[in-house]
Structure 1
Amino acid sequence: MAVEVEFVNHALVEHRALFERWAERHGVDAARRLAEAEDLADAVAAEITPDNTVDTYAKSWRVWQRFCAASGLPEAEGSRGALVAFVAWMLCEGQQNGTGYAPTSASTHLAAAVVGLRTRGVTVSGDAQAEARADLEGLTVKLLRAGERRGRRQAVGGDIDGLRAIARACPDTLTGYRDKALVLTGFRYASRSQDPAGLLTGDVALHPRGLLVDVLAGKTKHSVRTAKIPYADDPEICPVRAWTAYRTRLVAEHGEQWNAPATPAFVGIDRWGHITGGMVPDSVTRAVKRISARAGVPIAWTAGRPGSSW
Structure 2
Amino acid sequence: MTDIEAARAATLAPADERTTLLQRWAARHGVDVAHRLAEAEDLADAVDQALTPENTVDTYKKSWRVWERFCAATGLPELEGSRGALVAFVAWMLREGQRNGKGYASSSAGTHLAAVVVGLRDREVTVSGDDQAAARKALDGLTVKLLKSGERRGRGQAVAADTDGLYAIANACDDTLTGRRDLALVLTGFNYASRASEPAGLFNSDVTVHPRGLIVSVLTGKTKHSVREAKIPYAADPAICPVRAWIAYRKQLVDEHGQRHTRPDDAAFHWIDPHGNLRYSIDDDGNERYGLGPDGITRAIKRISVRAGVPIHWTGHSLRSGLASTGRRKGKDAVAIADQGGWARHSRSMLGYMRRDDGWEDNAAAGLS
In which range does the TM-score fall when normalised by the shorter chain? 0.7 to 0.9
Please list, as runs of the form range in 1=range in 2, the aligned pairs for 1:99-248 lying within 5 A after superposition. 99-159=102-162, 162-167=165-170, 169-170=172-173, 173-215=176-218, 219-222=222-225, 223-235=227-239, 237-248=240-251
Partner of 1:259: 262
What TM-score do the two structures reach when normalised by structure 2? 0.70
Give yes or no for the alignment of 1:91 onto 2:94.
Answer: yes
> For structure 1, which runs of at least 5 residues remain unmatched after alignment?
1-9
In structure 2, relative to structure 1, the CA distance for the partners of 1:97 and 1:290 (3 Å cut) is farther
Root-mean-square deviation (CA, aligned residues, Å) is: 3.2
> For structure 2, which runs of at least 5 residues remain unmatched after alignment?
1-12, 281-288, 328-335, 338-369
Q: Deviations over 1:200-240 (max 9, x none)?
A: 333323244433334469733334252424235253x4322
**Partners in 2 of 1:33 and 1:160 — Cα distance?**
58
Partner of 1:299: 314
Partner of 2:297: 284
Shift of 1:86: 0.7
**Partners in 1 of 2:31 and 2:261 — Cα distance?**
52
Greater relative contact order structure (CA < 8 Å, 6+ sep): 1
Partner of 2:278: 273
Shift of 1:107: 1.2
Higher Rg: 2
**Partners in 1 of 2:267 and 2:92 — Cα distance?**
41
Partner of 1:22: 25
**Partners in 1 of 2:16 and 2:84 — Cα distance?**
28
Shift of 1:293: 4.0
Whether the aligned pair in 2 keeps the contact of 1:178 and 1:266 (CA below 8 Å) is yes
Structure 1 window deviating more from structure 2 (105-114 vs 157-166): it is: 157-166
Give yes or no for the alignment of 1:35 onto 2:50.
Answer: no
In structure 2, relative to structure 1, the CA distance for the partners of 1:14 and 1:295 (3 Å cut) is same
Whether the aligned pair in 2 keeps the contact of 1:217 and 1:225 (CA below 8 Å) is no
Partner of 2:50: 47
What TM-score do the two structures reach when normalised by structure 1? 0.81
Q: Percent identity?
A: 65
**Partners in 1 of 2:307 and 2:158 — Cα distance?**
18
Shift of 1:49: 0.9
In structure 2, relative to structure 1, the CA distance for the partners of 1:21 and 1:279 (3 Å cut) is farther
Q: Deviations over 1:34-90 (max 9, x none)?
A: 122112111111111111211111111111112222222222221211111111111
Question: Is the partner of 2:25 in helix, strand or coil?
Answer: helix
Question: Is the partner of 2:228 in helix, strand or coil?
Answer: strand
**Partners in 2 of 1:80 and 1:176 — Cα distance?**
54
